[in-house]
Structure 1
């Protein structure tokens, strides 16, 4: 199965299935001499861990990371970093009734059509649990980027039709982890939570929008024309399951604007020309502008719902009803926050190395 590798100079390979023995990631391209510990990885994995609140699946997993290689005496060695997380609370038998019935909204049927075989246990490779490897790798990318003053953070701006009001970067940094829906507008967060409770009570689910911001990115990051920064970010975010749309800066709103409204005029600041506004979302011509990178993703409702849906029995090749049982998130965006941050961080780390902005020898003492 190709397609499990992401990146160029900073490259990751994720592996494992939702109800298999373990999941993990191998990272290649991390410079030697970077201080790295289990704690750096664990704090990010804890943010995406299931069972933390009423807006996530009740599956109970500690998601404790084990670094198997590439780190010695607290320092990266320049060799591949391999990390593993055991599936401690897997329950594969709970999915036996789905062996021959593909779930609507899931990739079950299409894995079967492509490979002639599929892991029906919770979606196997197509499960959201695959993102553990992304978040573990993203933690390394974030640690690397922090040495260059780059920070990546995200927040939920819409959930179940409830939209957050205007918030500042400070609001996002201070408020997101204070509520289970990870919304920086605390009043909107309460209304979002009510929508989650309502959907769960109805046996349904809701979707929403997550905004990702990167600050401190220097101007000129990107590799035109087919390695554009925004192209890589779009590919990275669209590779996350449940993401159905990506926009950068003004995004789709730019289709309703005039050029005089959309263009970011230039002004002088501290003796240097800079864009006065940021409709471009920090990227023009595939290159970073030096302003904050701003992008948003549309996340669909969780496809696993307890409402009765129509499907087919592949064993009897007949139509049938299906009611998905098990432990599922009533909404995905809150747990998507650390995953989306990780994918943007991975792109930035890769682009910084490819563009010569990170010296592989800079961490060696």
Structure 2
């Protein structure tokens, strides 16, 4: 970072981005911060970081290589390297500055002016601390493997770690199951930090909550609660809600319906869980502007929810109606066929053969008896 301060030929934005890069570099200039992290560190937008990054590449001060996660195939932050030798060669020449005279801020009767030691102050604003008698802790620019936000110029002292014979260090806390299911074993990464605009939106929502809901918000809201608040606001989507619409048409109706009467029995044990349930949208119909059966734009009852309720009532009435039973029809009995008697004989009493009519009627009755 001292090389960046002393370099000349850089614009303010370029020098600011280089300062952010050198905050994570190792002694060889390697680092891998994402553009979102650099934008938050510099207080600028991602597009500004990308533009200044192109300028630094054009001047030969920065190189980057794209990286891909071998497990998922998704792109991750680029591996970058700052050209430290070139940056050191851009050191501006020494100039006299009128800011190193301690006598200008001395008093008329100052006993320290007559002593040889003088006050415990730096003698000048030069880059090197050896000009002062004070002992300054050594500064290191080594970055951590995870590019932590808590990176400082001085590495904290480390406690000695006992090494086993097999080369492994003993665990200090947690069981074997916890270690195997931890974030390192499962491949989970730290969730991306919220931007300045997102944090502002969450703060505005929490400040607009009524007292009964504001009392549920913890002093340091967790990340999942902030993410749920941003998801409920749905900025830039058809389900987008203003803070007033979200509180008036979703959170308060749910609170009055499910939690307000129960709150009198005692304090809520899991306030964050209650807030997450209040922020979640119950999509009862396909209308994106509907919350708890109310149109958030007009404040009137949702038409789609009304039609859906009518259809449900019709379905329930139809299901409750008894099914019509079939009326049995009486069986049609066969009409008896009158079979004429066999003629006993002729005119003189002798036997006479059957005629054709008799044969047809006998054949018909015989067939009916077989089918019965």
Q: Identify the TM-score tier after normalising by the shorter chain.
A: under 0.3
Choose between structure 1 and 2: higher helix proportion: 2
**Normalization by structure 2: what TM-score?**
0.19
Higher relative contact order (CA 8 A, sep 6+): 1
Structure with greater proportional strand content: 1
Report the TM-score when normalising by structure 1. 0.20
Structure exhibiting the larger radius of gyration computed from Cα positions: 2
